Structure 1
Amino acid sequence: MPQRYMENASHSWTNNSVRLILSPSMEAKSAFMYVQEVGYFWTHPPYFTERQHLPSYLVVYTVSGEGKLDYGGHSFTLGPHSLFFIDCMAHQHYRATGSEHWEFAWVHFYGGASRHYYDSYAKKGDPLLQLQRDSPVLGYMQCLIDLHEQKTVHTELYGAKVLTDLATELVISAHVQASDAKAVPAYLADMIREMERRCSETIRLDELARSFALSKYHLIREFKKHIGMSPNEYLIYLRIVRAKELLKYTAKPVAAIAEEVGVDNVSHFINLFKAREGLTPLAFRKKWTTASG
């Protein structure tokens, strides 16, 4: 049985606020990420919105003033240059607080790859993100307003492009902040260069950790934190990248390529390659030979 949509709200926003309610075409709904609603509000207490069970993703970017968000059992303060990115199927309650206007840009969107972008963003653990003043996010949201205020035959296609840029920026910003790292530590950068140089050799994790005066478990934790994968996964990545180069630009047999990239068992190499590329090595070679022929 479908879950019933619920919404309560107090529409306390100024007359110069912008709210665009859109009706996407069937083509947009079937193929693109598309805007459902978009706007720019100057609000004041008692402004609030409470809802649940809406098939939509919502981004709200605070320009000035202060708001509050209750979501996922937690409460978040919304100050200048902060935003939240939420799934509106879950219960949410956000509101203006303080004595001044809460000024914010917002967009509801859905479709296409929106679920994948949201899931990737949500891995950071909470919906709140604090952005730098020079972040392009507000510009993307203002661009969506401009696009849909002056609708043309290309609006939905351009809108999908801007939404993709917006969602990509949010995911990248979330991952950078979640890793708590402005740069990869020097010892990891050295280790990566060592792995790239020796990727065709047998590299044992214990020996690698010892050569950098680290425990194996600390190495795994720090590597995954900064690089996004374990040392072993990164080594496999390097080998697959090298194998793709050899498959595309040489006529070497698959068994020889497997050995050259450091995988002794050709069956294991084929399985590794297919799991990551969705094709066997020979199918990958044929695809690229056909494309370049």
Structure 2
Amino acid sequence: MHNSLDNFSQKDIKITNIVSKETEKSVLYVHEVGYLTSKSVSPTKRFQTDSFLFLYVVNGKGVVEYDGSVYKADSEQCIFLDCRRPHSYQSDSKEPWEVMWVKFNGTPAQYYYSLFTREKCCVFIPNNPQNIKIIISQIINNNDRKSKYTEIINAKLITDLMTSIITEYCIYKDCSGKSKNKIFSVIDYLDKHFTESINLDDLAQRFYISKFYLTREFKKEFGITIIQYILNKRIEYAKELLTFTDKTIEEISEICGFHDQSYFSKQFKKSENITCLSYRKKYSNSKNQAS
């Protein structure tokens, strides 16, 4: 029997359950739950099973590959995966991770997962990691000392876990300011890297946030899409280069992140209602006259 989190640091734990057909059809149930010490550095595992995996990184680091994308997971971060999709995970060899996990399923599982992924990336940072540790510890304890109530208690604890990550971790607009801070962090990043190749998937991974949530909240906060924001930044930079340098249109197009000059010219005219050459003639002349 394990009574506290401290006990889990003594050895690896893995408990696999076989549940009744009635339970499978009715409530959330635990397929597997456990704790892995940092001494047990396992090779990459890749498999597809009819279940959902929730993993909490207690210490160390690891890498997750999910649905064709690669994510880094650090200490006190969470991972939530639909195991029916291609996935793998591996502890870092230099800083091996210590993890707690629960693999579950049941009729309501898909609903909770779908609700979660509308807002969040599969790897995320919880506001209250201690609460995550407590709930998974309770699930481990409940399955370690099985009773006639084990399955119904499991259902309750998994529901608590899902409720916690959906309602407490910056998924809805009325949560803490952390999500808004992330949006402003995105703006700061775009301001520094707008001339580079940027796509929504990479941006979402960088800031541990769902791209759907990112695009929605960005537009809500700033009134335009991320793509339009980047385009506006590039056009403003192009205007500066047209006015104050003698660089060619082709060079300016490349410098500003447009790798197609015709597309650049089209977007510039659409934005400024004037061609690049006409803009240069008009404003570089004004500059020279002023000087």
TM range (shorter): 0.5 to 0.7
| Alpha-carbon distance change, 181 to 136 in structure 1, aligned in 2, over 3 angstroms | closer
Deviations 1:87-133 (A, max 9, x none): 00111110010424410100100003110000111112520110135
Q: Does 1:170 align with 2:165?
A: yes
What SS does structure 2 have at the residue aligned with 1:76?
strand
In structure 2, distance between residues paired with 1:70 and 1:179: 31
Conserved? CA contact 2:64–2:90, under 8 Å? yes
Question: Displacement of 1:184 after TM fit?
Answer: 11
| Alpha-carbon distance change, 86 to 179 in structure 1, aligned in 2, over 3 angstroms | farther
In structure 1, distance between residues paired with 2:43 and 2:72: 14
| Alpha-carbon distance change, 221 to 162 in structure 1, aligned in 2, over 3 angstroms | same
Q: Does 1:222 align with 2:241?
A: no
Q: Which runs of 4+ in 1 moved over 6 A?
A: 177-180
Conserved? CA contact 1:124–1:174, under 8 Å? no
Equivalent residues in 2 for 1:43-192, closer than 5 Å: 43-44=38-39, 46-124=41-119, 126-133=121-128, 135-176=130-171, 182=177
> 1:29 is matched by which residue type in structure 2?
E
Deviations 1:34-54 (A, max 9, x none): 000000001457513433331
In structure 2, distance between residues paired with 1:178 and 1:142: 30
Conserved? CA contact 2:170–2:176, under 8 Å? no
| RMSD across aligned positions (CA) | 3.2
In structure 1, distance between residues paired with 2:110 and 2:88: 21
TM-score, structure 2 normalization: 0.55
Conserved? CA contact 1:66–1:80, under 8 Å? yes
In structure 1, distance between residues paired with 2:43 and 2:173: 29
Q: Does 1:25 align with 2:16?
A: no
Q: Which moved more, 1:114-123 or 1:42-51?
A: 42-51
The answer to which structure, 1 or 2, has the higher relative contact order (CA under 8 A, 6+ apart) is 2
Conserved? CA contact 1:22–1:35, under 8 Å? yes
Conserved? CA contact 2:66–2:86, under 8 Å? yes
| Alpha-carbon distance change, 108 to 169 in structure 1, aligned in 2, over 3 angstroms | same
The structure carrying a bigger strand percent of its residues is 1
Alignment coverage as a number of residue pairs: 179
1:16 equivalent among 5, 8, 11: 11
Deviations 1:226-274 (A, max 9, x none): xxxxxxxxxxxxxxxxxxxxxxxxxxxxxxxxxxxxxxxxxxxxxxxxx
Question: Displacement of 1:136 after TM fit?
Answer: 1.1
Conserved? CA contact 2:48–2:87, under 8 Å? no
TM-score, structure 1 normalization: 0.54
Conserved? CA contact 1:53–1:88, under 8 Å? yes
Q: Which runs of 5+ in 1 are unaligned?
A: 1-13, 186-217, 226-293
In structure 2, distance between residues paired with 1:122 and 1:167: 12
Deviations 1:139-178 (A, max 9, x none): 1101000000000001100110000000111222454388
Q: Which runs of 5+ in 2 are unaligned?
A: 1-8, 181-215, 224-291
Conserved? CA contact 2:168–2:175, under 8 Å? no
